[in-house]
Amino acid sequence: MNFSTGLPAIWVGVHLVGLAAAWLVRLHAGRRREGLAQLGFLACLPVIGSATVVGQQMCLTIWPLSAATLAMMIVLATADLSPRCQ
């Protein structure tokens, strides 16, 4: 594996880990492992944010996807998706 194929694979992997961390926060909401899920999410958040800023500064054409991943992570982790009506 050379640099040209490794970098996109790492880039995609980082974003998938970030989305998985946000999903795990919702999955473990109100449960015993919620704190661990939140810790993982909070560790991934600056990584995705940094990837977005670096991508934009380096004029990469894929940086809007990083911004969309960051936005999806934030919405997924903070939105109340429970079926109850208020």
* pLDDT tens digits for range 29-57: 788 888 998 999 999 999 999 988 988 89
- This prediction has a pTM of 0.79
Residue at 86 is within a domain:
no
Q: Is 59 left (phi over 0), alpha (psi -120 to 50) or beta?
A: left
Residue at 26 is within a domain:
yes
Residue at 84 is within a domain:
no
Residue at 3 is within a domain:
no
Band of pLDDT at residue 1, cut at 50, 70 and 90: very low
Cα dihedral angle (27, 30, 31, 34), rounded to 10 degrees? 70
Convert the pLDDT of each residue in 58-77 to its tens digit: 888 888 888 999 999 999 88
Tokens at 75, concatenated: 């919405």
- The span from the CA of 72 to the CA of 66, in Å, is 10
Q: Domain tally for the chain?
A: 1
Residue 25 structural domain: 9-78
Residue at 85 is within a domain:
no
Q: Which 8-state DSSP code applies to residue 84? A: -
